[in-house]
Amino acid sequence: MTTLEGAAGDTPAAPRRFDRARRPPLRRVADVLRSGETHAWRWGARIAVLLPVAGLLFAVTVLALKAYPAIKVNGSPFFTGSGFKIGSTYAVTVHTAGVAHPKGSFYGAWPLIAGTLQTSAIAVVVALPVSVGCAFALTERLPAIVSRPLGFAIELLAGVPSVVLGLWGVLTFGPWLAKTLYPLLANNLPDVPVLDFFKGTVGHGEGLLTGGLVLSLMIVPIITATTADLFRQVPTLPKEGGEALGMTDFEVAQRVTLRWVRSGIIGATALGLGRALGETMAVVLTVGAIFKVAPNVYSPMSTIAAAIATQLDSALTDGTGFAVASYAELALVLAVISVLVNLAARWVVRRTSHLGGPVGRAA
């Protein structure tokens, strides 16, 4: 110890250390607060980062635990079978693999899984071109005096509660479609096997296509807003390069602007698709409530989210809790589908981004 102190004393050029004790008292309080602030900031950030992950893990874990008995009993017919039967809640409770459930209960979610994918697919197929066209018009074609209020209106559409859109869908939009567009589609499409799905009785406008179209209206604002932001990032120079080469406006849009942000648009679509897969209220109101795979696009059907929302009430009447467990399994399936869709989108983005323009970096 002494040698060390002696060594320090021997070096005359040693820098004078910051002496906390010699600071005025008020400053010292401020110092403590400031160092505390740093700590608070750091820990706050750590917790904030972990919270969503923890929340997700917690939700999925609880869901999986709840669903476990149902997964054990339902097995693979859950994915291939068709029909949700609680069974006789007044009769004897039976046990399968140690799990109690009412006699005659059967859970097959295939129509719901198919319905979820169908409505979402229709929504994306309709919304994507509309959104890209919209975003293109907003950023490249229309003068600011038109595009600004229009962009604002589109973003407002994102804020319309889904129950309002659903109500409008079932009371106004659906019946109108059933009178105008649907007969046109059903009667005039050429005899191609794929299009048979668009033929059949039109009904009153409550069904798969109406649900899909209302959903598309809900995701158009999301995809449009994201895509418009992407288009604004495309530098002028490559677009001018295309023009100077004698490309038409459409060719520049298609081969330069759109390609520049292609992977971003795929990401935006995944965002919209995620919303469509999980959307509940608008779907409940517009698709009807039939737990069967729709024979054509006009037939009433249902989706996972809609089924959970509408059926949980009656599931609670099952004293064994097996119905609730089955709906938990259904919710788990929806969560897995959403995650898979997101992963697939990420994979596609990675596959396509290597030829895209350098967005965000100095171009």
Provide the binding-site residues for other proteins, judged by CB under 8 A: 235, 237-238, 240-248, 251, 255-256, 259-260, 262, 354-358
3-class secondary structure, 103? strand
d(CA 312, CA 299): 23
Closer residue to other proteins in complex, CB, 84/260: 260
Give the closest residue to 303 by CA, choosing from 224, 216, 212, 217. 212
Least separation in angstroms between residue 361's CB and other proteins is 9
Give the C-alpha separation, 199 to 219, whole Å.
26
Q: Which amino acid is at 360?
A: G
Residue with smaller CB distance to other proteins, 194 or 237: 237
| Least distance to other proteins, CB of residue 358, Å | 5
CB of 243 to other proteins, least distance (A): 7
Tokens of 214: 């209302």
Classify residue 166 as exposed, middle or buried by CB count within 10 Å of its CB (0-12, 13-18, 19+): buried
In the complex with other proteins, the residue whose CB is nearer, 17 or 354, is 354
Q: For residues 196 and 251, which CB has a smaller minimum distance to other proteins in the complex?
A: 251
- Rounded to a whole number of angstroms, the minimum distance from the CB of residue 259 to other proteins is 4
C-beta of 59 vs 245, nearer to other proteins: 245
Q: Least distance to other proteins from the beta carbon of 273, Å?
A: 24
Indicate the residue among 89 and 352 with the shorter CB distance to other proteins: 352
Least distance in angstroms from the C-beta of 228 to other proteins: 18
Nearer to other proteins (CB atom), residue 238 or residue 321:
238
What is the spatial distance between Cα 198 and Cα 191, in angstroms, rounded to a whole number? 11
Bridge partners of 100, per DSSP, are 95
Phi, psi torsion values for 18, nearest 5 degrees: -65, 120
Report the nearest approach of other proteins to the CB of residue 363 (Å). 8
Closest CA to 130 of 272, 286, 249, 274: 272
**List of residues 6+ apart from 266 with CB closer than 8 A:** 345, 348, 349, 352
In sequence order, the β-bridge partners of residue 83 are 108
Joined tokens for residue 287:
């698709």
